[in-house]
């Protein structure tokens, strides 16, 4: 029975013992849980556990070639995050990290939509505590917005699942179409978590508000779970190519003007998700391999970048580019790890980003999607600009900020070094890395053309940045808020609703006043006729009243007869 439980389940359940353990015991116990969970990955492919309730088969544990690479990297991410957070004595955060990672891993093994829904919501409810861990008023507010949106995504999934079950007689998690209402609802649910354009505001709004450990955990699971779900159910859906291309394109500009470096990374995360979504949209074996490889590599190098910025935040107390600079001297190991992460995300040869992104670019080439290809090539230059250069440059170089912090704690350094080594190993030994991908692949990323083209693209983009900086054309970073799609529900909708309510209130007041005035005028008018013009005096008044009363009675009778 224990063997047939889905990987991650033991982490989710085991998390509830954490509050009763001492600090050191907690870390050891958490790592033990991750290893125990990872052990279940050796069960092999197939359906290992189904539970029948009310004639419905919940497929609790299903594993295949698509879920395995995601499960492997989710375990690696959980392991690294636990080490990274070992300096903190915060059992609440520990519970959140391990149960969140467990829920995400268990979600990968869901074989039907209702099981997926359960874990989908579990990831939302566990991860919100990581944002609350930011312990600021902004974090509390962001956490509230986050849970509303994440639960909203779950509701779309549930509605889609119910409709899917009604129309198909089963709710298996397999290939779907957006032409059906059920498919469209599920697509929307996945799209919210994958941060599609205009549904992405929650990502940049909330991730940077979490604690330094929380952000690392958040960056690994939720969005990649959505990519997995899209690859599982909507591979080859053409619209994803265009959605993904927009996702790679727009966040670049926002990342360039953003001041908070963790928020820059959140935009960058959005941009990287775009590459994966494009690949899922293409849907060929090479493209799906590219999406999975990119998600795998991305979790590690993005985690590494978030870890390095988290270390800066932990030591300096801020992550704003305008208040940082010159930290290389004081935090050299963190800086080197950050640079390795930056080089990896920029996709320099011999680093993980290159061997993953090449698969996607080549699959675009094979499909002849030239416009999308060049959009992604443009986005690649943008990645170098905002993640490859901006992150390490403004934090560790640029100008002297006056901060003289200590190097990051040992546990943080260990976690970052593990991440850095993985980035390099994946880049240096792509053939081993490619073996865990869903489809067998005969692809060689290191040929003359690929390497020279990529190096020219990136080096000249870097040279352009150098020119802009050297000749003082690059504007200084400013303390600011950059408007994003969350503006619609944080500012526009409240403003519209407030204006409508106020408008109705004013209208009601004016309407009441005018009605009162009109009635008074009418009353005065008749008053004038009846009294001031002496229609009702003793001689004519009684006659007039009698005539009026008779007339009234006749009218009443006529109306009554007519009805």
Partner 1 sequence: MFFSKLIKKFGKINSAVLFICIILLLLEFAGHRHGEFKIEEFLFFPALFGYISCIVIFKIGVALRSIFMRDEDYYD
Report phi then psi at 535, rounded to 5: -70, -40
Find the binding residues for partner 1 in span 338-377 (CB under 8 A).
361-362, 364-365, 370, 373, 377
**Nearest approach, Cβ of 14 to partner 1 (angstroms)?**
38
**Nearest approach, Cβ of 320 to partner 1 (angstroms)?**
9
410-448 b/e (C-beta count within 10 Å ≥ 16 → b): ebbbebbbbbbebbeebbeebeebbeebbeebebebeee
Q: How many CB atoms lie within 10 A of CB 92?
A: 13
Nearest partner of 103 among 113, 86, 117, judged by Cα: 117
Q: How far is CA 114 from the centre of its chain?
A: 21
For partner 1, the closer of residues 119 and 373 by Cβ is: 373
For partner 1, the closer of residues 104 and 391 by Cβ is: 391
Instruction: Find out whether 427 and 354 touch, Cβ atoms under 8 Å.
Output: yes
For 362-393, the DSSP string reads HHHHHHT-HHHHHHHHHHHHHHIIIIIIIHHH
When asked if residue 475 is in the footprint of partner 1 (CB under 8 A), the reply is yes
**Nearest approach, Cβ of 73 to partner 1 (angstroms)?**
27
**Nearest approach, Cβ of 454 to partner 1 (angstroms)?**
7
**Nearest approach, Cβ of 400 to partner 1 (angstroms)?**
16
For partner 1, the closer of residues 112 and 260 by Cβ is: 260
Stretch that binds partner 1, among 229-237, 253-261, 496-504, 513-521 (CB under 8 A): 253-261
**Nearest approach, Cβ of 395 to partner 1 (angstroms)?**
16
For partner 1, the closer of residues 92 and 491 by Cβ is: 491
Which of 39, 91, 378, 446 binds partner 1 (CB under 8 A)? It is: 378
Residue with tokens 């009805």: 563
For partner 1, the closer of residues 106 and 372 by Cβ is: 372
Which of 328, 474, 488, 489 binds partner 1 (CB under 8 A)? It is: 474
For partner 1 (CB under 8 A), the number of binding residues is 49
**Nearest approach, Cβ of 378 to partner 1 (angstroms)?**
5
Q: Mention every residue, 6+ apart, whose C-beta is less than 8 A from residue 373.
A: 361, 364, 365
Find the binding residues for partner 1 in span 496-525 (CB under 8 A).
none
CA distance 75 to 361: 28
Backbone dihedral region of 236: left (phi > 0), alpha (psi from -120 to 50 degrees) or beta? left
**Nearest approach, Cβ of 348 to partner 1 (angstroms)?**
12
**Nearest approach, Cβ of 403 to partner 1 (angstroms)?**
19
Which of 181, 440, 444, 480 binds partner 1 (CB under 8 A)? It is: 480
For partner 1, the closer of residues 284 and 411 by Cβ is: 284
The first and second tokens of residue 541, run together, are: 């008044």
Q: How far is CA 21 from the centre of its chain?
A: 32
Stretch that binds partner 1, among 39-47, 157-165, 248-256, 277-285 (CB under 8 A): 248-256
For partner 1, the closer of residues 69 and 382 by Cβ is: 382
Which of 17, 24, 421, 466 binds partner 1 (CB under 8 A)? It is: 466
CA distance 128 to 214: 9
Backbone dihedral region of 396: left (phi > 0), alpha (psi from -120 to 50 degrees) or beta? alpha
For partner 1, the closer of residues 330 and 489 by Cβ is: 489
523-549 b/e (C-beta count within 10 Å ≥ 16 → b): eeeeeeeeeeeeeeeeeeeeeeeeeee
Nearest partner of 221 among 234, 207, 235, judged by Cα: 207
Q: Mention every residue, 6+ apart, whose C-beta is less than 8 A from residue 92.
A: 129, 133
Q: Mention every residue, 6+ apart, whose C-beta is less than 8 A from residue 117.
A: 154, 157, 158, 161
**Per-residue x/- mask for partner 1, residues 120 to 159, rule CB under 8 A?**
------------------x---------------------
For partner 1, the closer of residues 86 and 252 by Cβ is: 252
For the chain, give the longest Cα–Cα distance. Answer: 119
**Nearest approach, Cβ of 9 to partner 1 (angstroms)?**
39
**Nearest approach, Cβ of 515 to partner 1 (angstroms)?**
41
**Per-residue x/- mask for partner 1, residues 384 to 423, rule CB under 8 A?**
xx--------------------------------------
CA distance 252 to 259: 13
**Nearest approach, Cβ of 296 to partner 1 (angstroms)?**
23
Q: What length does the chain have?
A: 563
Find the binding residues for partner 1 in span 436-465 (CB under 8 A).
448-449, 452-465
Which of 9, 70, 254, 296 binds partner 1 (CB under 8 A)? It is: 254
Which residues lie near partner 1 (CB under 8 A)?
A: 138, 252-254, 256-257, 361-362, 364-365, 370, 373, 377-378, 381-382, 384-385, 448-449, 452-466, 468, 470, 473-475, 478-484, 490-491
């Amino acid at each position: 029975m224990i063997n047939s439980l889905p990987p991650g389940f033991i982490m989710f359940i085991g998390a509830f013992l954490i509050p009763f353990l001492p600090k050191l015991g907690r870390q050891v116990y958490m790592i033990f849980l991750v290893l125990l969970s990872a052990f279940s990955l050796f069960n092999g492919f197939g359906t290992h556990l189904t539970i029948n309730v009310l004639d419905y088969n919940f497929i609790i544990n299903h594993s295949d070639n698509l879920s395995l690479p995601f499960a492997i990297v989710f375990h690696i991410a959980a392991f690294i995050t636990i080490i990274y957070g070992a300096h903190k004595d915060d059992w609440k955060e520990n519970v959140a990290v391990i149960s969140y990672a467990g829920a995400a891993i268990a979600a990968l093994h869901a074989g039907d939509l209702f099981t997926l829904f359960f874990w989908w919501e579990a990831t939302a409810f566990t991860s919100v505590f990581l944002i609350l861990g930011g312990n600021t008023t902004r974090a509390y507010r962001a956490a509230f917005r986050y849970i509303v949106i994440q639960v909203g995504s779950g509701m779309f999934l549930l509605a889609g699942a119910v409709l899917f079950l009604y129309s198909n007689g089963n709710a298996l998690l397999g290939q779907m179409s957006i032409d059906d209402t059920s498919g469209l609802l599920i697509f929307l649910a996945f799209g919210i978590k994958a941060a599609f354009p205009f549904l992405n505001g929650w990502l940049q709004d909330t991730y940077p508000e979490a604690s330094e450990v929380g952000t690392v955990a958040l960056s690994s699971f939720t969005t990649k779970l959505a990519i997995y779900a899209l690859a599982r159910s909507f591979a080859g859906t053409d619209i994803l190519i265009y959605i993904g291309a927009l996702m790679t394109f727009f966040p670049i500009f926002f990342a360039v003007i953003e001041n908070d470096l963790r928020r820059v990374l959140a935009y960058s995360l959005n941009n990287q998700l775009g590459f994966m979504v494009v690949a899922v949209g293409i849907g060929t074996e090479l493209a799906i391999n590219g999406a999975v490889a990119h998600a795998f590599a991305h979790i590690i190098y993005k985690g590494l970048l978030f870890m390095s910025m988290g270390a800066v935040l932990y030591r300096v107390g801020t992550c704003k580019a305008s208040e940082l600079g010159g930290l290389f001297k004081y935090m050299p190991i963190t800086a080197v790890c950050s640079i390795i992460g930056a080089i990896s995300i920029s996709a320099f040869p011999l680093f993980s980003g290159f061997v993953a992104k090449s698969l996607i670019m080549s699959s675009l080439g094979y499909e002849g999607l030239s416009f999308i290809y060049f959009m992604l090539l443009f986005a690649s230059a943008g990645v170098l600009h905002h993640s490859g250069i901006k992150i390490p440059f403004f934090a560790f170089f640029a100008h002297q900020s006056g901060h003289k912090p200590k190097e990051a704690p040992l546990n943080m350094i260990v976690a970052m070094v593990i991440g850095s080594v993985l980035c390099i190993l994946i880049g240096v030994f792509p053939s081993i890395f490619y073996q865990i991908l869903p489809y067998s692949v005969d692809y060689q990323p290191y040929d003359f053309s690929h390497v020279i083209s990529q190096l020219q693209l990136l080096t000249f983009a870097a040279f352009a940045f150098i020119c802009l900086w050297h000749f003082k054309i690059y504007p200084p970073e400013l303390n600011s808020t950059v408007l994003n799609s969350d503006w619609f529900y944080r500012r526009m909708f409240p403003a519209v609703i407030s204006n409508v309510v106020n408008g109705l209130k004013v209208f009601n007041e004016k309407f009441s006043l005018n009605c009162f005035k009109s009635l008074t005028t009418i009353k005065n008018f008749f008053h004038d006729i009846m009294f001031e013009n002496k229609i009702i005096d003793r001689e004519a008044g009684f006659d007039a009243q009698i005539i009026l009363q008779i007339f009234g009675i006749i009218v009443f009778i006529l109306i009554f007869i007519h009805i």
